[in-house]
Amino acid sequence: MSSLPIADLILAEMDQRARAGNVPRHRRLYEAIRSAVLSRRLPVGSKLPSTRDLARDLGLSRNTVVTAFEQLLAEGYVSSRTGSGTFVADTLPEPATDELAPNRQIKNSHQDGATAPQHAPLEGTTIVNETTLSVRGRRVAEHASGHRYEIQPFVPGDDDFSVFPIKLWQRLQNKYWREARPELLDYGQNGGYLPLRRAIADYLRVSRSVRVTVDQVLITGGTQHSLDLCAQLLADAGDTAWVEDPCYWGAQRVFESRDLNLHPVLVDDEGMNPQQDDLQIQPKLIYLTPSHQYPKSVVMSLARRRLLLDIAARTSAWILEDDYDSEFRYTGRPLSSLQGLDTHDRVVYMGTFSKILYPGIKVGYMVVPPALVAPFRSALYDLQRPGQMMQQAALADFLEQGHFATHVRRIRQLYGQRRELLQRTLKPILGNAASLSKEESGLHLVIQLPPGTDDERLAQEAAEQGLHVRALSTYYIGPQKERGLVVGYAYVPTDKIAYYGRLLGNVVKAASAGRS
């Protein structure tokens, strides 16, 4: 018996859905029949042709048709009755309950017999198609940092990973891939690969006076991951985080995403400067960049460090010390950490390898007070199981074999050169129009502008010349905003930095002349 009417319908579906690419025939047939069933072009209860007849009428192998039928059967689009054949099943549920669609009730579909009545498709009923994000989702979307520029001059925060010793790194990794130890393919435990935690502990103890045993070290996916864990485990929604004003926007975003209230505290020449008013708003967290305030560049004075430790001890607040680029001090040695001064175990110290090795490596670390080790390890595992243990093993070797120290020295020298060139270029051009931040460290400096300067417009003018500086005022949360341009120099090639520096200096100078 010819199955032509149904075969024609199926063929039409297949043609409509024809597309390039290697979609197997049985799949195409399956999709065509499925589509016909869902749209009711093949009505409920229709008997399908036998596989042999359909194969003949569609010009397919019987195997192909059988495979498609098996899939349709398994998924419930058709049902088969032994000896009778294959029939189109009723796949539409009853619409949901009273509250949603008056006069209809929810029934358990599987209680219906094979004679369930047909139902009109969903047209005519109220479907609300709201593509709204949550409130917190919208906040993230509003503050989107925008498409990341290709590496262009003066974007603050970029480091020059073109000098990263790739061949060496590849060699270190290959050693572990060759050994193929199963534990390095598995999830990480105990806060991270032990030799790496040990190497980091040793490094921090000596270079930053961090008080640390290997157990207190946790390997994370970078600074934002570290901040996110702290915001989640040490604070509840609605709690207050004191942040420096101006403040690293990445930290702002993380804290907001955890529903914390940000209380900005102005930064002066000694760092965050809490006043009487600020003390009325007790913090749960205090976020600091004491080695090199981001973005103002100041180093937190010793007195100010001790003040904040005192505040934390009295309010039971946690200090999050973000030591993001302390390796890059061009005069003198890296400063001791604020954590090393603390005698009340209120500080979580964090650092990252992203700015020293390459951004995509996504390895950072935290040093937590002993009492927090167990809960932080749990959370690190339970909320987002750690991995990349091969990479952690290679990194441990990189540190232990002295390559890290060598590389840091090398890039410190390189960045120091670039900084000096930039300063020497800018100073004569700027004259009295602006001054430069004086701290000799980091991957950026600040061109400090007179109060009231429209630094956002200035940054825009610079951008038009291909110089992607950032306006200092855009980092401020509170109403009182200093003006300036944040200039990242680490990534600008040494043979180009004077050129770009002159361009930038002239933009600033011209604007200043325009004002006076």
Question: What is the footprint of a second copy within residues 436-495 (CB under 8 A)?
Answer: none
Nearest residue to 196 via CA among 483, 401, 22, 409? 401
Q: Which of 4, 100, 163, 510 binds a second copy (CB under 8 A)?
A: 100
Nearest residue to 232 via CA among 11, 15, 380? 380
- Smallest separation, CB 372 to a second copy (Å): 7
- Smallest separation, CB 399 to a second copy (Å): 13
| Interacting residues with a second copy between 341 and 360 (CB under 8 A) | 341, 344-346, 358-360
Contact code string over 188-217 relative to a second copy, x by CB under 8 A: xx------------x---x--x--------
From CA 502, how far away is CA 427, in angstroms rounded?
Answer: 10
- Smallest separation, CB 478 to a second copy (Å): 18
Tell me how long the chain is: 516
| Interacting residues with a second copy between 129 and 188 (CB under 8 A) | 129-137, 140-141, 143-145, 147-148, 151, 161-162, 164, 166, 169-170, 173-174, 177-178, 180, 182, 184-188
- Smallest separation, CB 144 to a second copy (Å): 4
DSSP bridge partners of 286 = 242, 319
Closer residue to a second copy in complex, CB, 25/427? 25
Closer residue to a second copy in complex, CB, 57/440? 440
Say how many residues touch a second copy, by CB under 8 A. 142
Q: Which of 51, 64, 257, 326 binds a second copy (CB under 8 A)?
A: 257
Question: What residue type is 71 in one-letter code?
Answer: Q
| Interacting residues with a second copy between 213 and 252 (CB under 8 A) | 221-222, 224-225, 228, 232-237, 239, 250
Closer residue to a second copy in complex, CB, 200/389? 389
Sheet strands side by side (includes 470-471) = 435-436, 444-449, 483-488, 470-471
- Considering only the C-alpha atoms of the chain, give the largest distance between any 2 of them, rounded to a whole number of Å: 97
- Smallest separation, CB 392 to a second copy (Å): 9
Closer residue to a second copy in complex, CB, 12/106? 106
Closer residue to a second copy in complex, CB, 131/432? 131
Question: Contact, 48 vs 34, CB < 8 A?
Answer: no
From CA 156, how far away is CA 168, in angstroms rounded?
Answer: 28
In sequence order, what are the residues at sequence separation of 6 or more whose Cβ sits closer than 8 angstroms to the Cβ of residue 105?
Answer: 94, 97, 98
The alpha carbon of 483 is separated from its chain's Cα centroid by a whole number of angstroms, namely: 28
Contact code string over 378-417 relative to a second copy, x by CB under 8 A: xx-xxxxxxxxxx---------------------------
Beta carbons within 10 angstroms of residue 211's beta carbon: 18
- Smallest separation, CB 234 to a second copy (Å): 6
- Smallest separation, CB 142 to a second copy (Å): 9
From CA 181, how far away is CA 174, in angstroms rounded?
Answer: 12
| Interacting residues with a second copy between 59 and 78 (CB under 8 A) | 67, 70-71, 74-77
Question: Contact, 462 vs 434, CB < 8 A?
Answer: no
In sequence order, what are the residues at sequence separation of 6 or more whose Cβ sits closer than 8 angstroms to the Cβ of residue 83?
Answer: none
Contact code string over 11-50 relative to a second copy, x by CB under 8 A: ----------xxxx--x---x--x---x------------
The burial of 330, by beta-carbon neighbours within 10 Å (0-12 exposed, 13-18 middle, 19 or more buried), is given as middle
Q: Which of 84, 128, 432, 464 binds a second copy (CB under 8 A)?
A: 128
Strand, coil or helix: 484 = strand
| Interacting residues with a second copy between 305 and 324 (CB under 8 A) | 306-307, 310-311, 313-316
From CA 2, how far away is CA 112, in angstroms rounded?
Answer: 33
- Smallest separation, CB 314 to a second copy (Å): 5
